[in-house]
């Protein structure tokens, strides 16, 4: 059974940095792109970033471009989200989610999600 576990959330002051981790198990991690999605308190879902299975292809939401950086270490089955210049509007639960296998040419979908980690940006 695939499992994704986020960690690294907490309370951070504006303009500071934080690094989130998404640790995977139970599947062939290096075959899957991984996404980050966030949800502000009481609000809807917002896609944040994606990294391809081999790290060669990366995309970001406009709201975090230039401030957030996604990376992965396939030897550790882990994806990271380095967040800098944090703002109050970055306060949210951050989820990581698995995309389809790279050898599956069917439709994209996020079939497994972590439980989320809360980031609160406040002075």
Partner 1 sequence: DIQLTQSPSFLSASVGDRVTITCRASQGISNHLTWYQQKPGKAPKLLIYGASTLQSGAPSRFSGSGSGTEFTLTIGSLLPDDFASYYCQQLDTYPLTFGGGTKVEIK
The secondary structure of 31-77 as a DSSP string is GEEEEEEEE-TTS-EEEEEEE-TTS--EEE-TTTTTTEEEEEETTTT
CB burial readout 26-37, b (16+ within 10 A) else e: ebebebbbbbbb
**CA 115/CA 65 separation, integer angstroms:** 24
**Pattern of binders to partner 1 over 15-34, x per CB under 8 A?**
--------------------
**Binder of partner 1 out of 16, 76, 87, 109 (CB under 8 A):** 109
Interface with partner 1, residue 7, by CB under 8 A? no
Q: Shortest gap between Cβ of 76 and partner 1 (angstroms)?
A: 22
Interface with partner 1, residue 95, by CB under 8 A? yes
The residues that bridge with 56 in the sheet, in sequence order, are: none
Interface with partner 1, residue 114, by CB under 8 A? yes
- The interface with partner 1 within residues 39-68 (CB under 8 A) comprises 44-47, 50, 59-62
The SS3 of residue 81 is: strand
The residues binding partner 1 (CB under 8 A) are: 35, 37, 44-47, 50, 59-62, 95, 97, 106-111, 113-116
């Amino acid at each position: 059974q695939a499992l994704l576990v986020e960690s690294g959330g907490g309370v951070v002051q504006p303009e500071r940095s934080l690094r989130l981790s998404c640790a995977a198990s139970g599947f062939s991690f290096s075959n899957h792109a991984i996404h980050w999605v966030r949800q502000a308190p009481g609000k809807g879902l917002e896609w944040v970033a994606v990294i391809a299975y081999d790290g060669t292809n990366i995309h970001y939401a406009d709201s975090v471009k230039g401030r957030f950086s996604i990376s992965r270490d396939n030897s550790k089955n882990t994806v990271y989200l380095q967040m800098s210049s944090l703002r109050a509007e970055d306060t949210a639960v951050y989820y990581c989610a698995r995309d389809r296998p790279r050898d599956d040419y069917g439709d994209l979908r996020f079939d497994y999600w972590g439980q989320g980690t809360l980031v609160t940006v406040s002075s």
